Structure 1
Amino acid sequence: MMIVHHLNDSRSQRVLWLLEELGVDYEVRRYQRDPKTMLAPPELRAIHPLGKSPVLDDGETRTAETGAIIEYLLERCPAVGLRPPAGTDAARRFTYWLHYAEGSAMTPLLLKLIFSAIPKRAPLLARPVAKGISKAMNANMIDPQLAAHTAFWEAELSRSAWFAGDDFSAADIMMSFPVEAAGSRVGYGPDKPRLKAFLQAIHGRPAWKRAIERGGPYSYA
């Protein structure tokens, strides 16, 4: 049976969701973040040197990184239909979103998280300066980037029902985390109806609901 080393409120939630969509039996081994630092516990370093999640064990095969795990699972269960046929425009879009989700999309989201946390973690006397730096970075660099990315997502969802085309695919599973994270950090106003509809649609999928039950509370939902 496959084992998912799962960290709460993390990108590993997507692996649980994909496994539910695939109908594959698996075991979840949960790890909790440190409530003060929000970092993964040291136990995860025994699984992977970087102490990161997700990690998937399939017999003697161990795979890390969400995108790599998703590609591995799609190759292992090729008949399910969560990847468009090779050589199609949908397949090219699928590959793009699969990599974009962990590349370009996550950079401003991580910067938002880091710079928002700086004032709280700075020494008391340095907090006013840290707050000013955080505010300036968010206003001048991070927030404009997030606005550009979310506008891009909204425009792409006007092309088709899902990110890679008219059919739901694993690209939508990959994109769920940045879309959810951006929604929780900057929100979606009336100018983002398609992103709101995307979140509604994925949260209504039975496999997504089962994955939440298996993975535990998930703040971004």
Structure 2
Amino acid sequence: MLTVHHLNQSRSQRVLWALEELGVPYQIVRYEREKTMLAPDSLKKIHPLGKSPVVEDNGLILAESGAILEYLQETYDTGQSFKPDALQQKLDYRFWLHYAEGSLMPLLLMKLVFASLGKPPVPFGVRHIGKVLSQGVQKAWLNPQIDTHARFIEEQLAHRSWFAGEKLSMADIQMSFPVFALLARGGVDNLPNLRAWKKRIEMRPAWQRAIVQGGPFELPGG
């Protein structure tokens, strides 16, 4: 049986969601974050990078969310329900699969890191400097960058229900983590299309089953 090495409040939630959509049986090995919010060292026994998600299937060890989702679609999506056929939609599908972690998520990770510079565990003596630096970088560069990406995504969803057309695809599953992070910590208002997309996800029975299996999924704000 396929095994998901699942870290709480992490990217592995979207792998559970994909498996529930596909109806693929799986088992979960659970890990809890350390106080530092990093993954425990025990994950390194499964994959040298010690990150989640990691999937074991038929003797294969698979890491990286996008690669895992592509593998699941190619291996288990026998009806080709989660990858579009039309050329433009296929191009959109490929774009969003790569954009999620290649362009959007690094900005949101920086948002989280900079927001923490004025807080513990940063040493007390340098918190003020960290806070000033954080506010300067966010105002001058990071926040405008995030706003540009948020408006771009919002516009893409203005005339379609899902990222690669009118059907849910693996592109939506891949985009779920950064979009949830964007809405939690991006500081961008007036994103009705993105919020409607998120609501459609949360109403899906497969998403709800994945939450039951993986545990609560609420990303911290910035």
Output the TM-score relative to the length of structure 2.
0.94
**1:66-110: per-residue Cα shift (whole Å, max 9, x none)?**
00000111110132410011x521111000001111110111101
CA distance, structure 2, for counterparts of residue 24 and residue 99 of structure 1: 24
Match in the other structure for 1:2:
2
| SS of equivalent to 2:118 | helix
RMSD (Å), alpha carbons:
1.4
- Amino-acid identity (%): 49
**1:172-194: per-residue Cα shift (whole Å, max 9, x none)?**
111111110011113553x3110
CA distance, structure 1, for counterparts of residue 202 and residue 43 of structure 2: 28
**1:1-58: per-residue Cα shift (whole Å, max 9, x none)?**
0000011111110000000000000001110001x31011111111111110000000
Deviating above 4 A after TM superposition, structure 1's stretches of 4 or more consecutive aligned residues are none
| SS of equivalent to 2:5 | strand
Q: Note the C-alpha offset of 1:59.
A: 2.1
Match in the other structure for 1:92:
91
Match in the other structure for 1:49:
48
Match in the other structure for 2:118:
119
Asked whether the equivalents of residues 7 and 40 of structure 1 are also in contact (C-alpha less than 8 Å), the reply is yes
| SS of equivalent to 1:56 | strand
Asked whether the equivalents of residues 188 and 196 of structure 1 are also in contact (C-alpha less than 8 Å), the reply is no
| SS of equivalent to 1:113 | helix
Partner AA of 1:127 in structure 2: R
Which blocks of at least 5 consecutive residues in structure 1 are unaligned? none
CA distance, structure 2, for counterparts of residue 204 and residue 24 of structure 1: 20
CA distance, structure 2, for counterparts of residue 136 and residue 154 of structure 1: 26
| SS of equivalent to 1:103 | helix
**1:107-129: per-residue Cα shift (whole Å, max 9, x none)?**
11010011112222322111111
Whether 1:214 aligns to 2:216 is: no
Output the TM-score relative to the length of structure 1.
0.95
Match in the other structure for 2:173:
173
CA distance, structure 2, for counterparts of residue 43 and residue 53 of structure 1: 11
**Match runs of 1:6-85 below 5 Å:** 6-34=6-34, 36-80=35-79, 81-85=81-85
CA distance, structure 1, for counterparts of residue 112 and residue 198 of structure 2: 21
Match in the other structure for 2:186:
186
Partner AA of 2:57 in structure 1: D
| SS of equivalent to 2:101 | coil
How many positions carry a matched residue from both structures?
218
